[in-house]
Amino acid sequence: MLRRVLWVIVVLVVLAVAGVLAWYFAVYKKNHDNGGNDGGSKGGSNADVGDGTAGQGNTIVSPNGTVIPNDPHMLKRVFYGMAYVPLNAQLPDCYNTQQTVDNELLLLVQATKRVRLYGADCNALRFTIDAIQRLKLDLQVVVGIWIDKDAATYTRQTEEFYAVVAKYGWTNIIGVSVGNEVMFDQVEPLSNLMAQITTVKNKVVQLGHPEIPVFTSDLEGANRPPLTNQEDLAGVNLHPSFSGVPVETAASWFWTYLNNTVTPTVQQGNVKPIPLWITEVGWPSFPATGNTNASIPSIPNLQKFVDTWLCDANAMNLPYYFFEFFDAPWKI
Ligand SMILES: *[C@@H]1O[C@H](CO)[C@@H](O)[C@H](O)[C@H]1NC(C)=O
Ligand SMILES: *[C@@H]1O[C@H](CO)[C@@H](O)[C@H](O)[C@H]1NC(C)=O
Ligand SMILES: *[C@@H]1O[C@H](CO)[C@@H](O)[C@H](O)[C@H]1NC(C)=O
């Protein structure tokens, strides 16, 4: 049963992300320093979302104009969270519209209750929150403040974040990730990132929401003191496909590595213990030549990883954001 459910998700979701996974592993990890809005619950039982409350029929119009099925029984909300960048939402050309974001979220909410954004440019945050409130979507948001080498990007994104919460309130927000892989990409000195996290945290507290975690998302190597002392939690992007192990052992590799390496790295020397969120996890689908030793991208392997990893992750209540929901051909 679960297997069938997962296959359905793979057909409707994972196939749709093939391009971005391919792009991510083939291109992004090697040479990305472009700016803009760049860019990973359990509860398979109560899947009846998209049951018409959003005013949708049996079909919806996909962002490229294609009409696709909107059958509430085809997708199950088995993912804890999803990483999401709205289609075509990248400066200087923001081709995403409120309508395209509406359509994407109407699909996404059928697979998860939580969405992680990467930035606020191109109205990515504003359109997301607006869609959630207007369409009454049961979806919570991890805000992303994109950081690149241009300090204006950080300033613009934080101001947009504060403007959005001033207008829409905080009810849909469950966290704020200040930067994504800023240390891994050597975007700026650690001291800058820590100051930015502290500034955002102070502002969030000042605005009355000390309970909202503020943190950054990076590889586990970066998530250690003193950085972790500035964070409410550690956001770790953990991709087993960089381990070099075959997909057959990727899930067990993940759990062992999480226990034996990631968790000790994050916690060691912290003033206080902090929670750990997996802010990206997944498996690449393409191209096969984009492998790391025996970690080979393919759609069957992606399916295998989902089959062998997801149920355990949900059973452990691991907070994770699957990378990622939609194809993003505009990133290539
Ligand atoms: C348009 O999008 C749908 C769903 O996202 C996809 O199945 C279809 O192949 C796309 N069509 C084109 C021409 O890109
Ligand atoms: C991949 O294989 C090469 C050659 O054996 C080795 O040096 C490297 O460490 C491996 N990489 C990973 C991530 O396993
Ligand atoms: C990891 O730690 C958890 C909690 O301590 C434990 O339940 C689990 O069996 C461990 N898994 C591995 C693979 O070590």
Q: How far is residue 249 from each of residues 84, 85, 95, 304, measured CA to CA in Å? A: 27, 29, 40, 10
- Average pLDDT of the residues in 29-57: 33
- Locate 321 and state its tokens: 């954001």
Ligand nearest to the CA of 241: 2
Helix (H, G, I), strand (E, B) or coil at 309: helix
- Average pLDDT of the residues in 78-89: 91
Helix (H, G, I), strand (E, B) or coil at 290: helix
Ligand 2, atom nearest to 245 Cα = 14
pLDDT digits (tens, 9 = 90+) for 157-172: 999 999 999 999 999 9
Residues 209 and 226: beta-carbon distance below 8 Å: no
Collect all residues with Cβ–Cβ distance below 8 Å to 117 and sequence separation of at least 6: 39, 84, 85, 124, 125, 128, 141, 142, 143, 144
- Other residues' Cβ atoms within 10 Å of the Cβ of residue 26: 16
Ligand nearest to the CA of 253: 3
In this prediction the pTM is: 0.79
Ligand 2 in reach of 244 Cβ (< 6 A): yes
Task: List pocket residues of ligand 1, CB cut-off 6 Å.
Answer: 16, 62, 64, 66, 68
Q: Whose CA is nearest to atom 2 of ligand 2?
A: 293
Ligand nearest to the CA of 295: 2
Collect all residues with Cβ–Cβ distance below 8 Å to 93 and sequence separation of at least 6: none
Residues 172 and 148: beta-carbon distance below 8 Å: no
Whether 139 has a pLDDT exceeding 80, the answer reads: yes
Q: Whose CA is nearest to atom 9 of ligand 3?
A: 255
Ligand 3, atom nearest to 255 Cα = 13
Exposure pattern of 305-322 as b/e (b: 16+ CB <10 Å)?
bbbbbbbebbeeebbbbb
Helix (H, G, I), strand (E, B) or coil at 144: strand
- Residue 50: its pLDDT value, please? 31
Whether 286 has a pLDDT exceeding 90, the answer reads: no
Q: How far is residue 137 from each of residues 97, 130, 175, 187, 236, measured CA to CA in Å? A: 18, 10, 18, 35, 27
Residues 321 and 85: beta-carbon distance below 8 Å: no
Beta pairing, strands 173-180 & 140-145: parallel
Residue 331 — very low, low, confident or very high, per pLDDT cuts 50/70/90?
Answer: low
- Residue 262: its pLDDT value, please? 96
Place of tokens 């992300």: 17
Q: Ligand 1 pocket test: which of 60, 66, 108, 325 has the largest number of ligand atoms within 8 Å of its C-beta?
A: 66
φ, ψ dihedrals at 29, nearest 5°: -65, -25
Distance CA 277, CA 97 (A): 30
- Residue 292: left (phi > 0), alpha (psi -120 to 50), or beta? beta
Ligand 3, atom nearest to 256 Cα = 13
Whether 186 has a pLDDT exceeding 90, the answer reads: yes
| Percentage of residues of the chain with pLDDT beyond 70 | 77
Ligand 2 in reach of 169 Cβ (< 6 A): no
Whether 236 has a pLDDT exceeding 50, the answer reads: yes
Pick the closest to residue 78 from 27, 4, 128 (CA basis).
4
Whether 34 has a pLDDT exceeding 60, the answer reads: no
Q: Ligand 2 pocket test: which of 25, 219, 293, 296 has the largest number of ligand atoms within 8 Å of its C-beta?
A: 293
Rounded to the nearest angstrom, the distance between the alpha carbon of 15 and the centre of ligand 2 is 29
Collect all residues with Cβ–Cβ distance below 8 Å to 233 and sequence separation of at least 6: 175, 213, 215, 274, 275, 276, 277
Could you tell me how far CA 274 lies from the centroid of its own chain? 20
Structural domains of the chain, with CATH: 2-331 (3.20.20)
Rounded to the nearest angstrom, the distance between the alpha carbon of 188 and the centre of ligand 2 is 29
Beta bridge partners of 292: 295
Mean per-residue pLDDT over the chain, rounded: 82
Ligand 2 in reach of 260 Cβ (< 6 A): no
Whether 1 has a pLDDT exceeding 60, the answer reads: no
Collect all residues with Cβ–Cβ distance below 8 Å to 68 and sequence separation of at least 6: 59, 60, 61, 62
